[in-house]
Amino acid sequence: MYISSKTHAVVAALTMGCATAMQTSPGEPTSPAITARDLSTRLYIFSDDSMIGRQFGTEGNLKGAQYIANELARLGIQPGNGASYFQDVPAYKVSIAPGAQVILDGAPLAFGTDYVTNFPASGRAAPVDSLQVVYGGDLSDTTTLIPADQAAGRAILLAIRTPLQRNPNQILARYSGARAIITANDPRVMRPWAVTMSTDTTPARVNLVVSLAVAARLVGGDPLAMRTGTPGRWIRFSSIAFTRSQAPARNVIGIIPGSDPSLRGEYVALGAHNDHLGLRFAGPLDHDSLRAYNIMANRIVEARTHATPGTPGGGLTTAERGSIHVNVDSLHRIRPARQDSIYNGADDDGSGSVGMLEIAEAFAKSGTIPRRSLIFVWHTGEEAGLLGSRYFTDNPTVPRDSIVAQLNMDMIGRGGAFDFVGGGPTYLQLVGSRRLSTELGDIVEAVNRSEPIPLTFDYAFDANGHPERIYCRSDHYEYARYGIPIAFFTTGLHMDYHQLTDEPQYIDYEHMRKVAQLVHDVALRVGNLDHRVLVDKPKPDPRGACVQ
Section 446-459 average pLDDT:
98
Split at pLDDT 50, 70, 90, the class of 5 is very low
Highest mean pLDDT, choosing among 16-20, 138-142, 146-150, 295-299 = 146-150
Average pLDDT, the chain: 91
Neighbours of 486 (CB within 10 A): 26
Split at pLDDT 50, 70, 90, the class of 474 is very high
Question: Could you tell me the pTM of the whole model?
Answer: 0.90
Neighbours of 498 (CB within 10 A): 14
Is the domain spanning 93-245 CATH 3.50.30? The answer is: yes
Section 276-288 average pLDDT:
92
Confidence (pLDDT) at 421: 86
Split at pLDDT 50, 70, 90, the class of 532 is very high
Strand duo 267-273 + 155-159: pairing: unpaired
- Taking the C-alpha atoms of residue 508 and residue 347, their distance in angstroms, rounded to an integer, is 10
Confidence (pLDDT) at 313: 54
- Are the C-beta atoms of 252 and 86 separated by less than 8 Å? yes
Section 127-153 average pLDDT:
94
Position 15 pLDDT exceeds 60: no
Lowest mean pLDDT among 20-34, 243-257, 304-318: 304-318
Please choose, from the candidates 98, 115, 136, 118, the residue with its C-alpha nearest in 3D space to the C-alpha of residue 205.
Answer: 118
List the CATH code of the domain at 29-89+249-279+343-528: 3.40.630.10
Position 19 pLDDT exceeds 70: no
Domain coordinates in residue numbering, the chain? 29-89+249-279+343-528, 93-245
- Are the C-beta atoms of 520 and 38 separated by less than 8 Å? no
Confidence (pLDDT) at 467: 86
Confidence (pLDDT) at 9: 32
Position 2 pLDDT exceeds 70: no
- Are the C-beta atoms of 155 and 178 separated by less than 8 Å? yes
- Are the C-beta atoms of 482 and 406 separated by less than 8 Å? no
- Are the C-beta atoms of 210 and 218 separated by less than 8 Å? yes
- What's the Cα-to-Cα distance from 36 to each of 165, 360, 403, 444, 519, rounded to whole Å? 36, 15, 30, 22, 15
Render pLDDT for 58-115 as a digit per residue (tens, 0 to 9). Answer: 999 999 999 999 999 999 999 999 999 999 999 999 999 999 999 999 999 999 999 9
- Are the C-beta atoms of 370 and 259 separated by less than 8 Å? yes
Under 8 Å CB-to-CB from 447, ≥6 apart: which residues?
518, 521, 522, 525
Section 123-142 average pLDDT:
94
**Is the fold of 29-89+249-279+343-528 the same as that of 93-245?**
no
- Estimate to the nearest angstrom the gap between the alpha carbon of 23 and the chain centroid: 25
Render pLDDT for 284-309 as a digit per residue (tens, 0 to 9). Answer: 999 998 998 888 888 888 887 766 65
